[in-house]
Amino acid sequence: MTYTVNCSILLTELPLLERPAAAKAAGFDAVEFWWPFDTSVPTDAQVTGFENAIKDAGVQLTGLNFNAGNMPGGDRGLVSWPARSTEFLDNIDVVAGIGERLGCKAFNALYGNRVDGESAEKQDAVGAENLAAAAAGVAGIGGTVLLEPVSGAAKYPLLTAADALKVIARVKDESGAENIRLLADFYHLAVNGDDVAAVIENHAKDFGHIQIADNPGRGAPGTGELPLGEWIARSRELGYDGYIGLEYKEPAETAFAWAIRQRASR
């Protein structure tokens, strides 16, 4: 199984730039990150520091989010937020540059919450335009833009796979972009009441990425009730051949105990 450790939600006891090395020490060769900076256009020194932390650790960066705003404060993306559209557009070249230098091809664009004072129609039009711009911006490095349903954010409009796929279809229709795909986070889909097994049957071959956490609790695999192993295996059978992102909450001391047991049992 090819796992990639999300170092923005795991290993948080450590400073961010120490987490890639910790993931490597735990036996993983790949990492992914939410946007690791406070602004859409960080300084060259900040970018270099981030890139060096990954290169020095000897891990592959497999995924990077576009700037999603203040996530701890409740933001869930800038894509469809008209007042911050320029910030998102300014972020595209920075993301593509990091991806090119580190060989990263997958870039998650959180769609954004509904905002007061703007119609849903306007937000969706802005969102489609910005996703098309992002797709064009990473196309030159063979990159793919990912769009995901999210749980736990009352104003986030993409709750099911169908919600996200509808936006993806609009972007493709309006712009001709082909490098935008669904990020299937099995935890978010399950919490939102989606039929995950049916999503897999219908769309696994088209997944751009898979992420996992168990439910209840968004903990490590095996701490809840979701049949994550079965869902992953079926996705593989149906053609998904990418990484499995570990995006759950668990103290560093026990974060990967399930994976160690799994390897030992083989």
pLDDT single digits (tens) 166-193: 999 999 999 999 999 999 999 999 999 9
Is residue 247 part of the annotated active site? The answer reads: yes
CA distance linking residue 142 with residue 38, whole number of Å = 26
pLDDT at 263: 54
| Confidence grade of residue 259 (pLDDT, cut at 50, 70, 90) | confident
pLDDT single digits (tens) 121-141: 999 999 999 999 999 999 999
Is residue 250 part of the annotated active site? The answer reads: no
Write down how long the chain is. Answer: 266
CA distances from 6 to 21, 63, 127 (A): 13, 9, 25
Superfamily of domain 3-265 in CATH is Divalent-metal-dependent TIM barrel enzymes (3.20.20.150)
Active-site pick, 18, 32, 121, 148: 148
Task: Name the pTM for this structure.
Answer: 0.96
- How large is the angle between the packed helices 44-57 and 85-102, nearest 10 degrees? 40
Active-site pick, 32, 100, 174, 247: 247
| Confidence grade of residue 262 (pLDDT, cut at 50, 70, 90) | low
